[in-house]
Amino acid sequence: MNMPPGWYLAPSGDPSLMRWWDGEEWTGDFAPAQQVTPDGGYGGGRQPYSPGAYPMTNGDRNLRLAAFILNIISMVALG
């Protein structure tokens, strides 16, 4: 399978279960399948936790590092 990591319907075929695919294999993590409400939202108000759903990219790291350095420079300048 060539799918990105995420919650998918369980391969067992049970429509009430989601299972976590880590990008290489199914893990032992299960969650109840979310039911879409008539207004387009998800039942229960939130989606299941998905570890690594938004991995940090190199661009994110560089931006955070630049913000940190600018913060240090401004603190020294004000000090």
pLDDT in tens, 10-29: 888 888 888 888 889 998 98
| Mean predicted confidence (pLDDT) in 50-68 | 79
Q: Where are the beta strands (DSSP E) in 1-79?
A: 6-9, 17-21, 26-32
Total tally of structural domains belonging to the chain: 1
Q: Is the pLDDT of residue 1 over 80?
A: no
Residue 54 within any structural domain of the chain: yes
| Of 76 and 9, the one with more pLDDT | 76
Residue 1 within any structural domain of the chain: no
Q: Is the pLDDT of residue 69 over 80?
A: yes
* pLDDT given at position 41: 52
| Mean predicted confidence (pLDDT) in 44-61 | 65
Residue 62 within any structural domain of the chain: yes
Residues in the chain: 79
CA dihedral 11, 29, 49, 17 (to 10 degrees): 40
Reading the block at residue 44, the tokens are 């229960």
Residue 47: domain span = 6-78
